[in-house]
A and B are shown apart, each in its own frame.
Chain A
């Protein structure tokens, strides 16, 4: 079960990474990042089966952080949307070189 969990975790993490690489909508990219965090959580939970509750405690903190990030991240997305009227990352390239 552990092996399956860790493998699934790796797969979900990679899907999240692929999502970040392929998507251009800032919100969807951010959701992909959330998927990655979830994948990590699966690893933690699976490992906590071996080592005790520390892994689960960690998952709680990850969730908290995810929530905080979501708040700030979405605020940033709203801020950029005000300027650009778009959240397509292709269009957001004032800063380059």
Chain B
């Protein structure tokens, strides 16, 4: 495989192709939409989703080579490309990946076709725009994972906003207008402050000619900031990423956005877009400002917020009457784990955090797809409207159970691996925080099992539910990869862990400012 990929210089073009393909797909959809202007809605929808599926599948297939082609142990970037974009301002098209980014890229590319399948029949109008937005969104997300130029990163970061805004706002539920605007404003508030910080960094690192420098490597290796500046800059990045993660108390956009978004939107939002925040911390906030990040006050504040988020998210999701909202709050809890893992600064916790990232992507994505499936049948997400549907939808019940267990973190599923690594690692440096965080194993079971009970168990007393049809072949087929992922990462996460190990070590080394192999980095005592 390595030889084959090398023979087609895979690494030289793959990242650019991954970024370009969705955009081209979006343009193709646009052209198709224009050409079919006078066709009836059904035909348009059908054509649009097929084209989108083809593009996404192609993207996924092309991206698979990354699994083998990336040099995971090298400190250099794989697939590195640097082309001047706005040389007058020192902005370059600079992309490259390491193990951490690769895993998230693969998560994205593999998830997107499934997302399209998941919204196969639920998008019935303006389908061309919908899928085009989904494609553009994909470029934005992939770009964030690849960008090695701070300015470019920012562009991709913002690029995601509009498609998601439209997806929520045009195809969403009752309160979609409120939710979409809230999503947009929250995210934008954070990211614009980051924009100032990025400019400040770039201008501080200006070359002798006075041109700003936004190259990630240059800034990481060269930049030092006076104490307060470093804190302010970190704060700016923190705000942007914390909103996206979302950390408590910046999380309230999330439940609204999730509840109102159409299924595909929720899936993308939960599975990938939330990872932007945590990825941002790992890729940018920590390596750029190790001093600020390790500042005891800052660090304890973040750890406290993370733990509050973990417990708070779990407790609040326990009392949600709406299934989507429940899952949304559970995301707050899960992402709190990621933050705890990152800011505990141990190899295990960071690796665990990366695993939770991926796992949350799989489990919560699947949960939203499942919710979408019953929503399509019943047009409600209120837990009280269901009950006992395992009788009529046994396959659905099985799938929901497995996914819920993964989300709870039952050993053997992927959820356990991540949470366990985070906690076992974080315990070395933040014992109290991780013990408090560990209480969530209880609350997670409470809220998800209670939800499960109210949906698939209990008496099948509502007449509307008695006629429900079980999953069809498409739905079943699209869930199978999720189940496979859940079990694979639960039982044999080593391939992924191996691939992120070196990158994670580099982050830890950078944070601790030491050259050791990082394996014992961060031991508190």
Q: Judge A-B direct contact (beta carbons within 8 Å).
A: no
